[in-house]
């Protein structure tokens, strides 16, 4: 898809059969691959194991080909459907803009990040342990102050339970901050084999192209134990592409406000994980996600919303988001999956027949 001098190429996504949201964005200044990772579908996905493996291989090959064209590789967080550990050809000779592994991270992603950066630094013949920096006494505030819209909601009969969950989450968060203050810190890097910058809350300029990253956002609901992610906007000559990473809807209203405030021409949005409804996703948070998507459709001014990742992992996803699709049709906003962008049916629907 052409947006002025910018070109957007969706590389792989869940609707094509393997977990991913890999995207290539080209401008006259820079070629950027966002989240070059792919993972096999979960056991309950309605397809044979052989088909899942085939889609995984196809996704990996598509991403491998896309990365050949990249100057910059973005990693929004350390889940295997968003980065590949370790494929040297994906990273050698490139600038890597990555979610910081030093704070706003849970234990599993920290462990994965250390393994990844150990491999990355070894491309320069550097032992990561020997260049790790001293821990930092980070000044980290209340994360709920960064989401005032979400905090202003009235949950009616659910309010007491919501407050309990937030209080419990804040205690968990405080313990995480203490852990981050003890972490030896992975450094940034400039070398012959790769460059590395931590992207959280920062902007980068390549000629006339700007790449802006959000501060760390919850991976789903407030105090999600799954961790944090960074989203981004790529802008050139007034044209914008926005990529949410994993905000699961977005569930949190302030993240929808960010999308609306940016007014991107194209938004790549990960939908709510409806396949987890009833055990990881409750109906209150699904309703929040639906209403936030409706606001984005109505107010963000997008021509195209690629609504994929998490969402097309179960056959009833369109039914769950019926109100979103009906509003999009009324507002004449294309809300489609990556498979549909390429003229295909999402595999969760075709394989379920």
pLDDT digits (tens, 9 = 90+) for 181-224: 999 999 999 999 999 999 999 999 999 999 999 999 999 999 99
Residue 69, number of CB atoms within 10 A of its CB:
12
pLDDT of residue 351: 76
The fold of the 2-184+197-350 domain, in CATH, is Metallo-beta-lactamase; Chain A (3.60.15)
Checking if the pLDDT of 311 tops 90, the result is yes
Query: How far is C-alpha 160 from the chain's CA centre?
Result: 31
**Residue indicated by tokens 């590395």:** 196
pLDDT, tens digit, 9 for 90 and up, residues 86-130: 999 999 999 999 999 999 999 999 999 999 999 999 999 999 999
Q: Is 47 exposed, middle or buried (0-12, 13-18, 19+ CB in 10 A)?
A: middle
Q: 55: which 2 tokens? A: 């889609």
């Amino acid at each position: 898809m052409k947006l002025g001098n910018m070109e957007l190429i969706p590389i792989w996504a869940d609707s094509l059969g393997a977990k991913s949201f890999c995207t290539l964005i080209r401008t006259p200044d820079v070629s950027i691959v966002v989240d070059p990772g792919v993972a096999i579908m979960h056991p309950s996905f309605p397809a044979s194991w052989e088909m899942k493996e085939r889609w995984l291989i196809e996704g990996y090959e598509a991403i491998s080909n896309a990365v050949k064209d990249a100057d910059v590789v973005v990693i929004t967080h350390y889940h295997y459907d968003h980065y590949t550990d370790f494929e040297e050809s994906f990273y050698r000779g490139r600038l890597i803009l990555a979610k910081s592994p030093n704070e706003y991270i849970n234990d599993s992603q920290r462990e994965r990040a250390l393994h990844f950066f150990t491999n990355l630094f070894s491309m320069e013949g550097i032992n990561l342990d020997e260049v790790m920096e001293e821990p930092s006494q980070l000044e980290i505030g209340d994360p709920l102050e960064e989401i005032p819209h979400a905090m202003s909601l009235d949950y009616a009969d659910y309010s007491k339970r919501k407050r309990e969950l937030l209080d419990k989450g804040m205690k968990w968060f405080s313990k995480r901050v203490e852990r981050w203050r003890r972490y030896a810190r992975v450094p940034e890097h400039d070398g012959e084999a790769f460059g590395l910058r931590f992207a959280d809350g920062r902007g980068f300029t390549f000629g006339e192209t700007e790449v802006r990253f959000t501060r760390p956002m919850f991976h789903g609901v407030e105090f999600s134990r799954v961790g944090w992610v960074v989203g981004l906007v790529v802008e050139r000559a007034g044209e914008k592409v926005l990529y949410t990473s994993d905000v699961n809807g977005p569930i949190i209203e302030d993240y929808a406000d960010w999308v609306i405030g940016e007014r991107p021409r194209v938004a790549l949005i990960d939908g709510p994980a409806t396949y987890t409804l009833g055990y990881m996703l409750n109906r209150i948070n699904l309703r929040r996600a639906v209403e936030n998507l409706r606001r984005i459709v109505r107010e963000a001014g997008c021509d195209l919303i690629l609504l994929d990742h998490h969402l097309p992992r179960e056959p009833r996803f369109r039914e769950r988001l019926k109100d979103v699709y009906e509003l999009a049709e009324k507002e004449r906003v294309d809300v489609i999956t990556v498979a549909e962008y390429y003229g295909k049916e999402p595999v969760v629907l075709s394989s379920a027949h």
